[in-house]
Structures are given as C-alpha cells and as structure tokens.
Amino acid sequence: MQFPIQKTAEQWQALLQAKGAEPAAFAVTRQAATERPFTGRYEQHWANGQYHCICCGAQLFESETKFDAGCGWPSFYRALPGAITEVADHSHGMVRVETLCSQCGAHLGHVFPDGPAPTGLRYCMNSAALEFSAADA
C-alpha cells in the first residue's frame, strides 16, 4: 500500500526522536506494535483540542469524539473524513480492522463495531501513535 508521505525506517526514527516521541512510538507506528493498556499518555486525557498522527502531523480526531471505553487505550467514535485507512488484520488469530494514517501509513490501532452512538464505532488508538494540540482558548 502506498501513502503520500514516504520515509525510510531511519528517517522515521530520527523524526520521532526529534519530536521527543515516546520510546515505543517507532515500534507502534512503523511495526504495528501495541502499547500496554492503561499506560498511554492519552488514555485518560480529556483536554479540548485535536489528535494528530505522531509521524506526519495529519489531524485524525477531534477531542469531542473521545470517550472512555474502559479498554485501556484512547478511544474515539469518529475519525475525521479521509484521515484513516482501514485494512483487514488477521494477526494473532483474530479478525480485526487495523487503522492507518492515510497520509503516512502509520499504524494507529484498530476500529471495532462496539462504540457509542452516533456511529457505533470505537477507534481504539495507541497513545504512542498520537500527538495532541490544544484548542485555542
């Protein structure tokens, strides 16, 4: 799968390091790792603003769509239009839908059909794949 923003593994590592990303950010975003539940910086983060891809800065979610799913990862019921690419994930003996940043292909997490109204979706994201920008006061 091709994405508009392409970099080598070394370039992604350097970019994440320069941004001061969490140590797990490269493994999560470029190797589809998963952070441990209830450990991510955004799991219980409720400030008003926007969540972006840690790799390329593309805006992914608005804070108004974040909810406490009790699963241990930041969860949202709606992504911004065109922000997420969904692909089938059959790893670990499961059938899931993986979510990728539509701009750079970063692994973000998975989407499940057990979220709240109005969408019924739960975008279960890794905090290490996200960066937050506060809304202007």
Q: pTM here?
A: 0.94
Pairing relationship of beta strands 96-101 and 107-112 according to DSSP bridges: antiparallel
DSSP state of 80: P
Q: What is the pLDDT of residues 17-68, one digit of tens each?
A: 999 999 999 999 999 999 999 999 999 999 999 999 999 999 999 999 999 9
pLDDT the model gives residue 17: 96
- What is the domain partition of the chain in residue ranges? 9-134
Residue 110 belongs to what H/E stretch? strand 107-112
Does domain 9-134 match CATH 3.20.20.70?
A: no
Q: What is the pLDDT of residues 75-109, one digit of tens each?
A: 999 999 999 999 998 887 888 999 999 999 999 99
124 is catalytic: yes
Active-site residue (options: 55, 56, 101, 124): 124
Is the separation of the CB atoms in 101 and 53 below 8 Å? yes
